[in-house]
Amino acid sequence: MKEDLHAGFCEEYIEISAGLRKMRGSLGLPSEPRGVVAFAHGSGSGRYSPRNQLVARALQEVGLATLLLDLLEDDEASDRRKVFDIDLLSHRLETAADWLSLHPETRGLRLGYFGASTGAGAALIAAARQPANVGAIVSRGGRPDLAWESLPAVTSPTLLIVGGADDVVLDLNRKALTQLQCQKELAIIPGATHLFVEEGTLEEVAHLSALWFTKFLEGSLKHEQHADELL
C-alpha cells in the first residue's frame, strides 16, 4: 500500500518473506531516488525508532530511498537470543537486499546499509557476504566487534559514527577500524553518548550519513552495467 505524503514523495508499507517469517517495514520513495538505504536497527528497536526515522528523513531529503524494516517478528524481538543472533539478522538483511534488487521502484539502484548498535554488526556481515551488492555502509554507535571475523572482507566504503562520550563503543570502533581494509572513516561526535540524545548530535549523525551515502550511492547499477557493455 502506498501513501502519498507530499509532492514527489510516497511511503509504501511492505512485507518481505523470510522463510516462514515476515519482515514488515516502510519504503520511503522520493520521486527520482539516487540510491536506496536499508536500516538495520539495534537491539530493542525497530522501524518506528525516532532516531532512525530522523536519519531516514534526512536521507530522503537528499533523494535517497529508505527501507525501515523490522528484521524480527514480535515474538522473536522478545527473545534475547534472537535479538543478539547476528548471523540471523545479517541473513534477514540480505533477504531484504535481494527484495530491493527486484522491487520495481528500487531495482537497479545502488544499495547502502545504515546500522545502529547490533544492527551495524549485522550490516557489516551482510556486506562482507555480498560485496558486489552494497555500495556504502554507515554505522551509528555500532558494534562492529560482533562482525570481527568478517571485517577484513568488507569492501564497501564504511563510515563509523560514534559519540565522544561513548567510551566503550568508541574503543571497539577504533579497534574495528584497523581491521577494515576498505575505504573507511571514523567520525567522533564530541559530547555524544550512545543514543545521541544530546542536542544537535543526532542531526549531525544524519548530516554525515547523507554526505557519505550521496557520495557513494550516486548513479545506478543499470548505468554501470550499460557503461561496461560499451567498453
Residue in 141, 159, 149, 23 with CA at minimum distance from that of residue 82: 23
Rounded-to-integer distance, Cα 110 and Cα 131, Å: 12
Asked if the structure places residue 227 within a domain, the reply is no
In a domain, 230, yes or no: no
Q: Domain total for the chain?
A: 1
Residue 93 grid cell: 538483511
Q: Which residues contact 65 (CB under 8 A, 6 or more apart)?
A: 27, 28, 29, 30, 33, 35, 36, 37, 105, 106, 109
Name the least confident of 1-10, 43-52, 152-161, 187-196.
1-10
List the grid coordinates of 35.
Answer: 540510491
- Residue 199 belongs to a domain: yes
Helix (H, G, I), strand (E, B) or coil at 127: helix
The answer to whether position 142 is within a domain reads: yes
Cβ(81)–Cβ(5) under 8 Å? no
For 15-79, where are the alpha helices, taking DSSP H only? Answer: 50-61, 74-77
- Taking a C-beta distance cutoff of 8 angstroms, is the pair 62, 55 a contact? no
Residue 177 lies in a domain: yes
CATH number (domain holding residue 39): 3.40.50.1820
60 or 5, higher pLDDT: 60
**73-127: per-residue pLDDT in tens?**
989 988 888 888 999 999 999 999 999 999 999 999 999 999 999 999 999 999 9
Give me the chain's average pLDDT, please: 91
Residue 69 has pLDDT above 80, yes or no: yes
Residue 220: inside a domain, yes or no?
no
Q: 222 lies in a domain?
A: no
Please, which pLDDT band fits residue 49 given cuts at 50, 70 and 90?
Answer: confident
The reply to whether 186 falls in a domain is yes
Q: Which residue range is the domain that position 137 belongs to? A: 2-215
Are 115 and 139 in contact by the 8 Å Cβ rule? The answer is yes
pTM as predicted = 0.90
